[in-house]
Amino acid sequence: MKLRKYFEANQKLWDEFAKINYEAESYRTKEFLQGATTLKSIELEELRDVKDKTLLHLQCHFGLDTLSWAREGAKVTGVDFSGEAIRLAKQLVETTGIEAKFIQANIYDLPDVLDEQFDIVFTSYGVHCWLNDLNRWAEIVAHFLKPGGTFYIAEFHPFLWVFDWDAQDFEIVRSYFHSPEPLMEKVDGSYADSSVRMEPTEDYEWAHGIGDVVTSLCSAGLRIQFLHEFPMMCFPNFPFLKKREDGYWYYDNPDVQMPLTYSIKAVKDNR
């Protein structure tokens, strides 16, 4: 019951965020419509050849990255539980003529509504904190992969969970470790555009350490090929990060560097 309440609140939040984010400069919808990719160099270089592969994008938001993979040649399906995000994704399909399928579903309900397996399951940046159960999530990833298929994630590093989001430097305020009860926060605007205010609402987020992520994937039968950690992130989650020419945001102290992003590639072996 409580879980349903958390998911309903988060879904409402993401319906509001989708409307704001679609218009927000940082999401680059306009550039995408002019032909730009919204994928970052990390996933483009590490996942590489997606041509003619079927790709399932979990938590696809309003589909910019999903459709960018389609521009790279993948046959894409995007899933998100926000009805507003999926409506906007379908609108982008109409506008651009890019071939794609979008499904509105909670990740945990997806096996009930989608009966297909994929060459690639992809997910990225800001996904795990919305999920209460990573073991079940990893089982779902494995369920939708064909034997021999590839799973890939690029995500904000869970170590960042411990820091105050609004402080002027890294200040530890939270425990790193997973707790079954979510952290509740009151939100009245999107991270993507602080100038737009929305009706205050609650969100519920869960911490998951890097060990939880890796162990959930191994337990679901996936073989991890790499776990990479990076000292930069694609979004300024902290106000004091500095943008460099490569488009990524860095902590400016060369003597104190920490992992801001990680990526994992894993395969479902033929058995």
Ligand X SMILES: C[S@@+](CC[C@H](N)C(=O)[O-])C[C@H]1O[C@@H](n2cnc3c(N)ncnc32)[C@H](O)[C@@H]1O
Contacts with ligand X by CB under 6 A lie at 7, 10, 14, 59, 61, 80-82, 85, 106-107, 124-127, 130-131
- Give the residue at shortest CB distance from ligand X: 126
Q: Which is nearer to ligand X, 54 or 59 (CB)?
A: 59
| Of 119 and 133, CB closest to ligand X | 133
Q: How far is the CB of 76 from ligand X (least distance, A)?
A: 14
Q: Which is nearer to ligand X, 112 or 252 (CB)?
A: 112
Between residues 18 and 266, which has the closer beta carbon with respect to ligand X?
Answer: 18
Query: Rounded to whole angstroms, how far apart are CA atoms 23 and 235?
Result: 16
Bridge partners (DSSP) listed for residue 197: 189
User: What's the min distance (Å) between Cβ of 6 and ligand X?
Assistant: 9
Whether the Cβ atoms of residue 200 and residue 189 lie closer than 8 Å to each other: no
CB of 124 to ligand X, least distance (A): 5
Pick between residue 83 and residue 147 the one whose CB is nearest to ligand X. Answer: 83
Closest distance to ligand X from the beta carbon of 234 (Å): 9
Tell me which residue of 100, 238, 106, 224 sits closest to 161, measured CA to CA.
238
Least distance to ligand X, CB of residue 133, Å: 10
Q: Which is closer to ligand X, CB of 214 or CB of 234?
A: 234
- Nearer Cβ to ligand X, position 80 or 222? 80
Degrees, nearest 5: CA angle 39-163-197: 65
Supply the minimum distance, in Å, between the C-beta of residue 129 and ligand X.
9
Q: In the numeric block, which tokens belong to residue 39?
A: 């994928």
Which residue type is seen at 38? T
What DSSP string describes the chain? -HHHHHHHHHHHHHHHHHHHHHH-GGGTHHHHHTT-----HHHHHHH---TT-EEEEET-TTSHHHHHHHHTT-EEEEEES-HHHHHHHHHHHHHH---EEEEE--GGGHHHH----EEEEEEESS-GGG-S-HHHHHHHHHHHEEEEEEEEEEEE-GGGGGB-SSSSS--B-S-SS--SSPEEEEEEEETTEEEEEEEEEEEEE----HHHHHHHHHHTTPEEEEEEEESEESS-SSTT-EE-TTS-EE-S-TTS----EEEEEEE----
Closer to ligand X by CB, 106 or 117: give it: 106
